Amino acid sequence: MQKPLVAGNWKMNGLAASLEQIDLIGAGIDDALRAQVDVMICPPSILVAQAVRKANESSVLIGGQDCHAMASGAHTGDVSAEMLKDAGASAVIVGHSERRADHGETDVVVKAKAEAALRAGLIAIICIGETRAQREAGSTLGIVGSQLAGSVPPGTAGQIVIAYEPVWAIGTGLVPSVADVAEVHAFVRTQLEASHGAEGAKMRILYGGSVKSSNARALMSVPHVNGALVGGASLMAADFLGIVGAYR
């Protein structure tokens, strides 16, 4: 059985004062809940080191939102996986749909970043998902399968997490039906088992896209949903804890 992971992606939000929310999140996770679920916050890169210091007194893990494929070099404005590791991060998100769309990141680029995360000793949270047009065209599984094949490097269950985020559901309030989520997650599991064998059977598959406290329990109970990647609802501790509490 995979221990679920609920990870909050703050995106380009948050100042130093926002890190108080990590204190509140940590305080809201008792021993019983801590035994049931891993909890992570991924703040902007400039806040990672401060967030790690905040989280040291709790069970909250800290991750990055992106990394460069190279360990160092002339890449102004970029952050390497090794830098995130050095700052105390334990994971990094790669291939988020906003990176794929806004920065033109291809599966090849995403795979290189995932390989960089593994190289640095970070967990790679690899995002996949279809657009609304692709879903309406009936090509969801084809798109998801292609992204899996092109974006996920060899690795173990402890190194790789997959996050299925239908692009059309991110920040829109729209959520696919439980049956739709079940279909895609079962497909992802089958593909991971085919490509990674026994390790693929144990990799965590997160669902993301307008997850909130009111729908978290239903979504987290779907077979092969091993947690959530949460956007806006992770910015405030009360909202985020309402989602984590689905595992209580």
Q: What is the CA radius of gyration of the chain?
A: 17
In angstroms, the CA 110 to CA 49 distance is 24
Select from 207, 182, 180, 205 the least CA-distant residue to 192. 205
In angstroms, the CA 217 to CA 225 distance is 11
Q: At what angle do helices 178-196 and 213-220 cross, to 10 degrees?
A: 50
Determine contact, residues 6/230, Cβ cutoff 8 Å: yes
Centroid of chain to Cα 247: 17
State the catalytic residue, choosing from 82, 105, 165, 196: 165
Q: Residue 217 burial (CB < 10 Å; 0-12/13-18/19+)?
A: middle
**32-37-43-49 Cα dihedral, nearest 10 degrees:** 70
196 is a catalytic site residue = no
State the catalytic residue, choosing from 68, 96, 185, 224: 96
Select from 202, 235, 167, 232 the least CA-distant residue to 5. 202
165 is a catalytic site residue = yes
List, by residue number, the catalytic residues.
96, 165
